[in-house]
Structure 1
Amino acid sequence: MIKDIYKNSNLIFTKFILVGVSLCFNANAQELDSLKIEAAEHNLELKAQYKSFEAQLEAVTQAKAWQDPNLSFGYFISPIETRVGPQIARFSLTQMLPWFGTYKARGNIASYRAEAEFEKFQDQKLKLFLKVAEKYYDISVLRFIAELELEQFKILEDLKSIVESNYENNKANMVDILRVELQIDKQLNVMQVLKQQDQVLVTQLNQLINRSLKTPILILNPQQILEQNKFIEIEAIHKNHPRLEAIRNLQESNHAEKDLAKKQALPQFGLGLDYAIIQNRNVMATDAGQDAIMPMLSVTLPVFGKKNKSRKKAAVLQGESLQFKLEHEQLQLESEIQVAKYKQNELLSLLGLYNKQLERLADILQLSEAALANAKMNIEEVLQLHEERLLYEKQRAKSLAEIQKNNETLNYLTSN
């Protein structure tokens, strides 16, 4: 029950941050796990959601609390004469008691609402993990592409040497050298742009973690991270996903509301005590001047039934609404999983295509560079082939990143 969470709410916050961060099998992937944990500990939006849960927990105590007793005092300006003396003042203490089980029903309503709030916190935590992973893979693919661009730069330098050698042997024109230099300048500009883009992504990831925006993100081997095999086979949603559990807890709260509506239609009891102060005036009686004590019992009469019928009807309608919401959320999760599975198959198909194209281009480039060295092929054609190879390499890298991000999405959609 929610009371166990209530007793250890601060400890629970740290505990459930760690739940959902799965252990990976290489050091680079573990870096992502540490980023997720750090984000869960410091992200302001997640902290706000947890505080909302703690605030809802306090409603449990409020719901189970008894009504405050009513104490009244009256002073008679003109004392009321009685047989034993004048009555000059009166105290009255009353405590109202609802029908049996009313406080329990109210406590159950607040408890289940608190549990629903906790499930929202769980869902927000999982969404935060997904956002961190997506930014992490965006940085990884950008740095992998930067490595590919650097490799392309070195290839262009080698091609320039070959063309210069051919020019010295009257096998090439100066325009061929200038064409290669033009590509080198273009390559340097591309590498500079990638560096600036990297800084933007690092800033965005640090913002999610809520730490200094200039904190470096260390990724030792981006290619290895992107090529790790973590393909997920999913058939259906998990029945205990936080998005579903939140609605189920609200349904339980609704059942308690129906029970409360029935109990509110029953009488309430009031226990009280009256104490009257009697002044002694030397009346010739054995009980002269003795104060009066009178126990009291009161009962409310719920004769106006419209409001009670309205409470019951509202609870029934709210229950129907929650059932529709649950069915819609189940369909929504199933739809999102099917879209992710379709995207996974599409990305794997594209990855296979890029791998085949790169294998063929590797053979073509080997032959073309040999032909260029023997002045049997134009430098422009060789540059075009290298540009095509780089394009496929970058498309392959982006597909790998999308596969990893899609896996993270599937992890979120099927979380328990």
Structure 2
Amino acid sequence: MFKTYYIKPTSISTQLMLVVVLLCFGFNLKAQSLSELKTIAAENNLQLKAQFKAFEAQLEGVTQAKSWQDPNLSFGYFISPIETRVGPQIAKFSLTQMLPWFGTFKAKGDIAAYKAEAEFEKFQDQKLKLYLNVAEKYYDLSALRYIAELEAKQLQILKDLKSIVKSNYENNKANLVDILRVELQIDKQLSVIQVLKDQDQALATQLNQLMNRQLKTPVLISNPKQILDQKEVMQTDSVSKNHPRLEAIRHLKESNKAESVLAKKQAMPQFGLGLDYAIIQDRNVMNAGAGQDAIMPMLSVSLPIFGKKNKSRKREASLQGESIQFQLENEKTRLETEIQVAQYKQDELYSLLDLYEKQLLNLQDILQLSEVALANASMEIEEVLRLEEERLLYEKQQAKTLANLQKLNETLIYLTSNSEL
């Protein structure tokens, strides 16, 4: 007696629509995994390259710190020659080399080396943050493309609903306004798909920027739903003892210890070795050594008698050490806090996922009944549209929640990484 219509979300027309959406999004022919994208970013990212060059520049300071001071060479010419027993002295050359206290060079070298290692740990941390940024953009893009698939399916469902309403209208079981309502929803759906296309291009551009490649390079993600459904939970109890953020501060702490040693060395005398060469003019002085130039070795010693300056250096190194220790303790607390917050968010998102799954199961049963009722003209199209929109909303929220879970997992990987990665 009554015609019954069933909405098929996986019809051939729907599949064709998905293909069109994928082509419109400009995908490449070859999909790249997240690990491959991370590798590309690590090799090409400009900010990471800049950080590594900063480390290499800091490393050059080790050679400079261990280098000897330049010797001093001086020349003096006597306008009025000084008469000596063997003749008048007309000019003098002096060469002096200062020698610091024993162990000073080693202390300076240690300071520079530890600072260079701290800079390297900053590079390691920058690399881990880059991996995290790439992963976040990757999962955002995966969620966006899965949502684009959902929107394309929704468009096909609306077209099927339009067919049902149109059939009811031809049988005087529906009004023309019902057809117009569905057409309005179809136009809205087409606009949503276009907006998603623009957002896709923006996210792909950001991802390409992180990898330092052409901004319009297509980014292919095969099976976004499967990527989002990977529910590998990152379990951790505490912060990694070798996290780069902690290691960088520890190296600064070691550098400070070397500065304390240097402060003690600088309170000791410095030695100077020198050589004076005096030019004596030969004026036929009746002397066996007449006109013979004079050579005089010299030894000098600095006198560190201003104790206030030396005490200030030691006090400065001690205060810096206390400051670095506070920084280390604070960084440990920050990392632990960030881990706990991420874990709380994980639990919250899993609760939301359970809710969405239950709601979607209930809505699926209701929609099957409502579709039959609509075909039999016993339900208004507004209610069916509302239910379809509610189902789509839950599916999109589910996709976004899955993406947020993946990003939280990557965040925990970053927070628990060590400097050896």
Structure 1 residue 178: Cα displacement: 1.9
Q: Which residue of 2 aligns with 1:276?
A: 278
- In the TM superposition, what are the counterparts of 1:18-33 in structure 2 within 5 Å? 31-33=33-35
Q: What residue is the counterpart of 1:289 in the other structure?
A: 291
Q: Provide the residue aligned with 2:378 in structure 1.
A: 376
* Alignment equivalent of 2:88, drawn from 86, 89, 105: 86
How far off its partner does 1:179 sit? 1.9
1:175 and 1:44 mapped to 2: Cα distance?
57
Aligned residues: 389
Give TM-score, length-normalised by structure 1: 0.90
Identity of aligned residues (%): 76
User: 1:123-164 CA distances to partner (integer Å, 9 max, x unpaired)?
Assistant: 112112211111111111111111001001111111111222
1:180 aligned partner, one-letter code: V
In the alignment, structure 1 segments of 5+ residues that lack a partner are 1-26
Match in the other structure for 1:245: 247
Q: Whole-Å Cα distance in 2 between the matches of residues 98 and 285 of structure 1? A: 42
* Of 225, 228, 235, the match for 1:233: 235
The answer for the alignment partner of 1:400 in structure 2 is 402
Shift of 1:278: 2.0
Rounded Cα–Cα distance in structure 2 between residues aligned with 1:307 and 1:407: 53
Give a deviation string over 1:316-346, Cα, whole Å, max 9, x none.
0000000001000100010000000000110
CA deviation after TM superposition for structure 1 residue 289, in Å = 2.3
1:351-397 per-residue CA deviation (whole Å, 9 max, x = no partner) reads 11111111121122122212222223222222211111111100100
Counterpart in the other structure of 1:50: 52
In 2, the alpha carbon distance for the partners of 1:281 and 1:381 equals 125
Letter in 2 for 1:238: S
Q: Distance in 2 between matches of 1:44 and 1:254?
A: 31
Q: Tell me which of the two structures has the higher relative contact order, counting C-alpha pairs closer than 8 angstroms and 6 or more residues apart.
A: 2
Q: Per the alignment, in what secondary structure is the counterpart of residue 274 of structure 1?
A: strand
Alignment partner of 1:281: what SS?
coil
1:386 aligns with 2:361: no
The whole-number CA distance in structure 1 between the counterparts of 2:288 and 2:192 is 111
- Partner residue in 2 for 1:17: none
Shift of 1:53: 1.4
Q: Give me the whole-angstrom Cα distance separating, in 1, the residues matched to 2:412 and 2:162.
A: 47
Q: Determine the structure 1 residue equivalent to 2:147.
A: 145
Question: What's 2:108 paired with?
Answer: 106
TM-score (norm 2): 0.89
Displacement of 1:349: 0.9
Alpha-carbon distance in structure 2 between the residues aligned to 1:163 and 1:93: 104
1:194-213 equivalences under 5 Å are: 194-213=196-215
The equivalent of 2:67 in structure 1 is 65
Alpha carbon RMSD of aligned pairs, Å? 1.5
Specify the alignment match of 2:131 in structure 1. 129
1:250-288 CA distance string (max 9 Å, x none): 100000000000000000000111112222333333333
Tell me how far apart the structure 1 counterparts of residues 415 and 247 of structure 2 sit (CA, whole Å).
13
Letter paired with 2:111: I
Q: Secondary structure at the match of 2:114?
A: helix
DSSP 3-state at the match of 1:361 = helix
How far apart are the structure 2 equivalents of 1:184 and 1:281? Answer: 116
Q: Which residue of 2 aligns with 1:39?
A: 41
Give the letter aligned to residue 102 of structure 1. Answer: T
